[in-house]
Amino acid sequence: MNKDILLKQGAIWAFIVVELVFFSVAGSYLSVSDSAFMDFDNMLLLLKQSAPIGIIAVGMTIIMINGNIDLSVGATYALSAIVLLDSMTWPFMQDLGDWAIPFAWMFALTTGIVLGAINGLIVWKTGVDAFIVTLGSMLGYRGLVFMYNGEQPTSHLNWTLVDFAEAQFLGLHTATWFLLGATLLLWLLMTRTVHGRNAYAIGNNREAAVNAGIRVGPHFLWNFMLIGFLASLSAVVFYSESGSVNPNDGMLYELWAITAVVLGGTKLTGGYGSIISTLGGVIAIQLLRKGLGHIGADTETVNLVIGLILIAVLFLDRQLNRKGKEELKT
C-alpha cells in the first residue's frame, strides 16, 4: 500500500522532472535565446513567479480537502491589493512614514480574512453549496473592486517596500520564502493538527464526521478565513513590489489555483489531497509556461497545452484508480 501512496504523491514530481528534461533538450534546438533553460537564476525566478498563485493554491487545497471550493480568491486578491496600496496614501498613514507598511499589510490581510469569513459564514449558516456561495461572492467582491476606483488603476510605490519584496535571502526571493513558509505551515496544519485531520474526515465522509460529533460549520469558517488570509497574503507579497493594481487583476486566479490543486492529485470531491503535491502542481504549471515560452510558443499555445495536459493527467489518474475490469460501469 505504501507503494501506492508513493506512486500517487510522487507522480507530480516525476512530471516536473519530465518537463525539465524535455524543455532542456527541446530548448537546445528551438530556443530563441542561447541561455540554458535549467539555469539556476531562471529556476529561482520561476519559484518567485509561482508564488502569487502558489500561496492561493495551497489554501485552495485545504478548502477542497474539506469538500468545498472557493471561486472568490481572485477578487479577494484584487481587493486586498487595493487596500494595501490605497491605505498608504491615507493622511494619517503618510504621517507614519515607513511605519505605515506594517499597518498597510495588516489592513490588507484583515480584508482577506473578513471576506473569507463572509464566505464561510454563509456556507455554514445557510447550507448553500460553497460553489454557489463563492460564485456569488466572486462577482460581488469584484464589484467592490470596481466601486473603489472605477476602471482606474490604484497605484502607490513605496521604495522600502519594493526593496523588501525584491530582497533575496539565502538566494531565494521574498515571495518564494512566503510561498515555502505558507506551504510548510499548511502542511503541518493538515497533517499534524486535529483541525486538519477533521477537515479530511469532513471532506471524506461528512455524515460520518457529523455522527462522530465533529462540528462541520466552524471548520468550514476557519478554512475560508484561512484562504481569505492567504489570498490577501499573496496580494501583499506581489503588490509590495509592483505598486500598481488594475481592477481586473487576479481574474482567473481561482481557476489557476484549482488547476494546480487538481494536478497535485487532490480529489475534487474532497477527503484526499496533499499540500506538498499542490506545490508540485504549481511548479509544474509555471514550468510549462516558462518552458513553452523558452522554446518560442506564444501565450495562446501555452494555455491550450496546459488545458490538454490537465485533461490527460486526470484521465490517466482515472485509469490508474480503476479497480480493474470487474468495476461497475456507470
Residues that bind other proteins (CB under 8 A): 1, 192-195, 197-198, 200-201, 204-205, 207-215, 271-272, 324-329
Smaller CB distance to other proteins: residue 1 or 147? Answer: 1
**Contact of 56 with 234, CB cutoff 8 Å:** yes
Smaller CB distance to other proteins: residue 38 or 210? Answer: 210
Please, what's the b/e burial string for 117-139 (b: 16 or more CB within 10 A of its CB; e: otherwise)? bbbbbbbbeeeeebeebbbebbe
Smaller CB distance to other proteins: residue 49 or 204? Answer: 204
Min dist CB 327 to other proteins, Å, is 7
Min dist CB 4 to other proteins, Å, is 9
Q: Of the candidates 238, 259, 209, 235, which has an alpha carbon nearest to the alpha carbon of residue 116?
A: 235
DSSP bridge partners of 172: 169
Instruction: Considering only the C-alpha atoms of the chain, give the largest distance between any 2 of them, rounded to a whole number of Å.
Output: 72
Smaller CB distance to other proteins: residue 232 or 266? Answer: 266
Smaller CB distance to other proteins: residue 14 or 208? Answer: 208
Smaller CB distance to other proteins: residue 156 or 197? Answer: 197
Helix (H, G, I), strand (E, B) or coil at 311: helix
Min dist CB 194 to other proteins, Å, is 5
Smaller CB distance to other proteins: residue 149 or 205? Answer: 205
CA angle 115, 56, 124 (to 5 degrees): 40
- β-pairing, 168-169 vs 172-173, is antiparallel
Min dist CB 249 to other proteins, Å, is 35
Min dist CB 212 to other proteins, Å, is 3
The distance of Cα 11 from the centroid of its chain, to the nearest Å, equals 20
- Residue count of the chain, please give it: 330
Cα-based torsion angle of the residue sequence 201, 203, 204, 209 in order, rounded to the nearest 10 degrees: 40
Q: Which helix (H) or strand (E) holds 169?
A: strand 168-169
Min dist CB 330 to other proteins, Å, is 8
Cβ burial of 150 (10 Å; 0-12, 13-18, 19+) is exposed
Residue that is written with C-alpha cell 485509469 in the block: 319
Smaller CB distance to other proteins: residue 318 or 325? Answer: 325
List strand residue ranges (DSSP E) for 1-150, in order: none
Min dist CB 129 to other proteins, Å, is 18
Min dist CB 316 to other proteins, Å, is 20
